[in-house]
Amino acid sequence: MSVKLATITKPGSHRAMNRVKYAPSQLQAISRMALIVQKYGGTSVGSVERIGAVADRVARFKSEGHDVVVVVSAMSGETNRLLALAKEIQANPAPRELDALLSTGEKVTTALLSMALHERDVRARSYSGNQVGILTDSAHNKARIQDIKLDTLKSELDAGGVPVVAGFQGVDVQGNVTTLGRGGSDTTAVALAAALKADECQIYTDVDGVYTTDPRMVDGARRLDHITFEEMLEMSSMGSKVLQIRSVEFAGKYKVPLRVLSSFEEGPGTLISTEEDTSMEAPVIAGIAFNRDEAKLTVIGVPDNPGMAYRILGPVGEANIEVDVILQNSRGENETDFTFTVARSDMDKAAQLLTPVVAELGAGEVLTDDHIAKVSVVGVGMRSHSGVAATMFKALADVGVNIQMISTSEIKISVIIEEKYLELAVRSLHSAFGLDTVETTA
């Protein structure tokens, strides 16, 4: 994804001078005029009442003196409804026509929200991606933003208005309407915030922030005040439900502070930024991520010779199957087992691809297992702390969970375990790393 920042006009200097810097979790501290991009997801604009509530919040920010650019999704269920209509007519509609259709959902919301703002005496104008100059490549249904023309947005801001921009869509050089892939409104918001050099990009949704782990699995899961982009990306197994992952990458690249908040209740949400908490009490682990969507393949009896990993994983990569964890151990004898994991939906295809390879190599057979899960402890703090792995393995040992594979990165340790122990593993890690909510005694 590339916003050609060089080609993007700088925002008015009056705004640059008033740049405010506020600490994590202190939304209230935005005391001077700031430029804020607010994105409202489908549930936040899911009814006329909810659109009214959004307009109330936007009006409040305006009355406090901030400049606000709003990006909206389609009303909840709308994109799916349009998709279903298309499928009733044709099994595989032309991607260009699909984009022409799906992009209408967001446009409805922009017009309705603008009306709701007018009703509150706030100047506002709705814009499609095309009108606001969001230029993309021509990859229909999964287009990438290439450039954003800021003239329209800036003149509306300068006139004191609120631009209400349709998320998820753009236009290619030929003038065709494109869409950015499901959940793409987040990316629109971040791209606009980057281009405008906004002080913050706020993503309003139906949860009040990013949690230490899935609160549906662990009662004691806590909302994080702050998390780094790197951590957020590693937490993606849960984060992706909150934010389109591509938007987090984008925000990290352009250092746009992102805040996830609830549009239904007031609160500071979770700030996602580049800043690391370097205080002595900073937690070593930000959260516990997990992923059930993994499957394991093991090639038995692979000759212990150079080139085997390539012979096995080459065809898998060529088929665009992403490999996650890899395990191989050469004992210097003549054969080894080679194990790796892929997305569950790719397991059968990968196994099929390996059948001829196994025969060529003179290896044994390919075993598959789709009853596995991956659990990861994530935190930038582990860079400077030893013993994180030991704590993790002890916690799993204490509850009798067997570790099948291990992989590490600078800020993450992941283990592959049997799927049926997933909840047990996540709960015990969550408490072993001190992440549970502190119980207050009554």
Q: Tokens 């964890």 identify what position?
A: 325
- Closest distance of CB 187 from ligand ASP, Å: 8
Given the rule CB under 5 A, which of 40-48, 249-257, 328-336, 397-405 is the region that contacts Mg ion? 40-48
| Of 41 and 268, CB closest to Mg ion | 41
Residue 74 contact, options ligand ASP, Mg ion, none, Cβ 5-8 Å cut-off depending on partner type: ligand ASP
Residue 182 contact, options Mg ion, ligand ASP, none, Cβ 5-8 Å cut-off depending on partner type: ligand ASP
| Of 182 and 349, CB closest to ligand ASP | 182
Outline where 284-366 has alpha helix (H).
308-318, 347-361
| Of 185 and 270, CB closest to ligand ASP | 185
| Of 242 and 358, CB closest to Mg ion | 242
| Of 161 and 183, CB closest to ligand ASP | 183
- 275-278, Cβ contacts within 8 angstroms, sequence gap of 24 or more: 275/24, 275/226, 275/228, 276/228, 276/380, 277/226, 277/381
| Position 183 contacts Mg ion (CB under 5 A) | yes
Please state whether beta strands 258-262 and 200-205 pair in parallel, antiparallel, or not at all (unpaired). parallel
Residue 170 contact, options Mg ion, ligand ASP, none, Cβ 5-8 Å cut-off depending on partner type: none
Please provide the size of the chain in residues. 442
Q: How far apart are CA 377 and CA 433, in angstroms?
A: 9
- Closest distance of CB 128 from ligand ASP, Å: 14
| Position 41 contacts Mg ion (CB under 5 A) | yes
- Closest distance of CB 293 from ligand ASP, Å: 19
- Closest distance of CB 248 from Mg ion, Å: 12
Q: How far is CA 173 from CA 5, 80, 180, in A?
A: 18, 27, 15
Sheet holding 323-328, edge to edge: 323-328, 335-343, 294-303, 366-369
| Of 41 and 379, CB closest to Mg ion | 41
Q: How far apart are CA 33 and CA 14, in angstroms?
A: 10
Residue 142 contact, options Mg ion, ligand ASP, none, Cβ 5-8 Å cut-off depending on partner type: none
| Of 78 and 234, CB closest to ligand ASP | 78
Residue 268 contact, options ligand ASP, Mg ion, none, Cβ 5-8 Å cut-off depending on partner type: none
Site residues (CB under 6 A) for ligand ASP? 42, 73-74, 79, 105, 167-168, 182-185
Longest dimension (CA), the chain: 79
Beta strands in 141-199 (DSSP E): 145-148, 162-166, 169-171, 177-179
Q: How far apart are CA 186 and CA 203, in angstroms?
A: 7
Give helix 185-196 / helix 245-253 axis angle, nearest 10°. Answer: 10
Residue 40 contact, options ligand ASP, Mg ion, none, Cβ 5-8 Å cut-off depending on partner type: none
Residue 11 contact, options Mg ion, ligand ASP, none, Cβ 5-8 Å cut-off depending on partner type: none
- Closest distance of CB 105 from ligand ASP, Å: 6
| Of 96 and 120, CB closest to ligand ASP | 96
Residue 105 contact, options Mg ion, ligand ASP, none, Cβ 5-8 Å cut-off depending on partner type: ligand ASP
| Position 184 contacts Mg ion (CB under 5 A) | no
Residue 168 contact, options Mg ion, ligand ASP, none, Cβ 5-8 Å cut-off depending on partner type: ligand ASP
Q: Which residues contact 376 (CB under 8 A, 6 or more apart)?
A: 234, 237, 288, 289, 290, 291, 412, 413, 414, 415
Q: 340 and 420 in contact (C-beta within 8 Å)?
A: no
From first CA to last CA, the distance across the chain in angstroms is: 51
Q: Which residues contact 121 (CB under 8 A, 6 or more apart)?
A: 59
- Closest distance of CB 71 from ligand ASP, Å: 9
Residue 252 contact, options Mg ion, ligand ASP, none, Cβ 5-8 Å cut-off depending on partner type: none
- Closest distance of CB 79 from Mg ion, Å: 10
| Position 161 contacts Mg ion (CB under 5 A) | no
- Closest distance of CB 205 from Mg ion, Å: 7
Q: How far apart are CA 35 and CA 19, in angstroms?
A: 8
Given the rule CB under 5 A, which of 92-100, 179-187, 266-274, 333-341 is the region that contacts Mg ion? 179-187
Please state whether beta strands 270-273 and 258-262 pair in parallel, antiparallel, or not at all (unpaired). antiparallel
| Of 189 and 235, CB closest to ligand ASP | 189
Give 211's DSSP letter. Answer: B
Q: Which residues contact 225 (CB under 8 A, 6 or more apart)?
A: 24, 25, 268, 270, 271
- Closest distance of CB 164 from Mg ion, Å: 17
- Closest distance of CB 346 from ligand ASP, Å: 23
Residue 146 phi/psi, 5° resolution? -110, -30
List residues near Mg ion by CB under 5 A.
41, 183
